[in-house]
Every structure is written in C-alpha cells, then in structure tokens.
Amino acid sequence: MAYVSIGDMAQSFRFRQHNQQLKTTLAQLTDEVASGVQQDIGAALKGEFTSYSGLVASIARLDAYAQSASVTGTFLSVMQATLGTIQDQTAEFGATLISVRQEGDTAALDAAAQDGAQRFSAVVTALNTQAGGRYVFSGMDTATRPLTGPDEILTALSTAVSGLSTAEEILTAVNDWFAAPAGAGGYGDLAYQGSDSPLAAQRVSDAVSVSAGVTANDERLRGMLQGLALSALVAKGMVPSDPALRSQLLDASGRQVMSASSALTSARTEVGVAEAAVSAARTRNSAERTSLETARLGMVAADPYDTSTALKAVQTQLETLYALTSRLSGMHLTDYL
C-alpha cells in the first residue's frame, strides 16, 4: 500500500487554516446566540429577499419619520414655550396699565411705562429664540434672526411719530407702521427680517404633515409688540411730554396688550394642535416599527437550540485541535528511538 506523506510545513499550514475556519465559525455562532439573528442572511432567506427588503425599506422610512418628528417636535415645543412666556409676561400688564392710568398717579404711570419698555425688549428677545440652531419665528428663512434689536425697532418707530403732537395722530402712525407690509417702510421692512412664507410643512408619517406657521410677522404678535412699543415710546421720551397725551398713549397701550394677549391664546392653540399631531404620529410610527422589526427578525432568527448545539460542537473541535497541535509540537525523534 502506498502512503502519501505530508511535510511539516504543509501540515502546519493545514492546522492553521483549520484553526482559522473554526475561529470564524465560533465567532459567527457566538454572535448568533447573542443576537438571535443568523449571520448569513442569504442562507436564512434561501435567496428570497423581496419580502425582507420590503420590511427593511419600511423600517428605514419610519426611522426617517422618527427623525423628522423629533426635530419638528422640539421646534414646536420651543415655539410653544416662547409664546407661553410672552403671554405670561404680558397677561396682567395691560390691566395694570389701565388701572394705573385711571388712578392718575403720574409717578405710577412713569413706572408702568418703564415696565412696558422692559417687557417690549423681553418679547423681542424671546421672538429671536432658536431651536437646534434655527430661528423659530422666521418662517422659511430659519437662518435669519426674525427681528432687529428692540432699540433699533423703537428708533425706526420714533421716526414715524416724529413731529406729531396729538395722541390720535401718534396712535394712527404707530398702527400704520406696524400694519405696513414689506416694501412700505414699516414693521415689515425695519423690524421683521424673516421670510413672509411660513415654515414648510414637515412630514412626520405617511399620512401626517405638520407646519409651524407662527412667525414674528403674525398679526397677533405684531399686536403685542405694538401695544408694548407704545409704552416704550412714552418711557424713552420719544413722544411729547404732555401728561394728558402720555396718559392717553399708555391707556391705549394697556388695551392693545390685553387684546393681543387674548389673541396669543389662538396662536398657542394652533401650535398645541400641531404638537399633538406630532406626538400621535410618533406613537403610531413606533408601534408600526416594532411590528415590522419583529417580522424582520422572525425571517432571519437563529434557532437557539440548533445554534447552541453547533457552538458546543465547534468549541469541542477547536479544543481538540489545540490539544492535537500541542501534542504534535512536543514530539521528538528521540522518543521513538
């Protein structure tokens, strides 16, 4: 009988090759035991990828919606919080201003006017807030700050009332300035710097798109700024110093702020409806994704018993190979002479 001998180097190479194969199989089976998913997807699906690919695509789409819903939800949350802050800061101010004016206390009126000026600055600052690096009240142009600074706005407004001597004239000029559209030299040009178009609706599910349509150019916010600006004009001496005229302007300021504060409720309701839509969409998307992920995993799941059995077999083979290699490496010719 003829024997085919294998040289030491060839034998060593075969041992190393077999060792590497066993290690690769061991790592694969270990991952399958840990994850419960077969590593060889093609083998698990027997080459039928259509249904599996559809599930993967649907899950990816839901993940994209989840990202959109997260960003949109944060944006709306900041918008809602800002509107709430503005309303909280002005809810009682209008009534207080009217009450002080009726009492006729000049010092109290001056203090109220100063308070109004501070609230005007606070509201302008609030409307320039950002969420995720985007200006919330700038409409489509989220990279641009919606309003210029409070001092710049008042300076521009003071030009519109310069030379006017009666409360009626000043109130008309202020109203016209805040109502002026872009191109007319008023609020739309000298105060509001954002887009005339609201932020585009963001799709958060297959069937739901949500928009955040409140901008600093919204008439409800312009109304609030107009009321507070009247107090600021008085506080900063930008109108005649006649006590009766100043008293009339502060009374008008209080009434305007009260009206605008009520109008802000509708704006907050709009944002609240959008927030609820995003929340509902996120809940539905999450439930659907869980269902699809369960179906996907079911198609490529590794049988726990079979995988554990195969893992033990590979471990045994690897241990045997190590033992054999160790024994062969310890052999010497003198042991057999």
Is 227:178 a contact under the CB 8 Å cutoff?
Answer: no
pLDDT single digits (tens) 129-169: 999 999 999 999 999 999 999 999 999 999 999 999 999 99
Tokens linked to 272: 């609240």
Spell out the long-range contacts of 13-17 with Cβ–Cβ below 8 A and sequence spacing 24 or more.
15/321, 15/325
pLDDT single digits (tens) 296-307: 877 766 556 566
Residue 335: its pLDDT value, please? Answer: 45
Q: Mean per-residue pLDDT for 20-32?
A: 63
What whole-number distance in Å separates Cα of residue 255 and Cα of residue 258?
Answer: 5
Question: SS in 3 state form for the chain?
Answer: CCCCCCCHHHHHHHHHHHHHHHHHHHHHHHHHHHHCECCCHHHHHCCCCHHHHHHHHHHHHHHHHHHHHHHHHHHHHHHHHHHHHHHHHHCCHHHHHHHHHHHCCHHHHHHHHHHHHHHHHHHHHHHCCEECCEECCCCCCCCCCCECCHHHHHHHHHHHHCCCCCHHHHHHHHHHHHHCCCCCCCHHHHCECCCCCCCCCEECCCCCEECCCCCCCCHHHHHHHHHHHHHHHHHCCCCCCCHHHHHHHHHHHHHHHHHHHHHHHHHHHHHHHHHHHHHHHHHHHHHHHHHHHHHHHHHCECCHHHHHHHHHHHHHHHHHHHHHHHHHHCCCHHHHC
Residue 152: its pLDDT value, please? Answer: 97
CATH topology of domain 55-292: f41 fragment of flagellin, N-terminal domain (1.20.1330)
Residue 15: its pLDDT value, please? Answer: 60
pLDDT single digits (tens) 66-105: 999 999 999 999 999 999 999 988 888 888 888 887 877 7
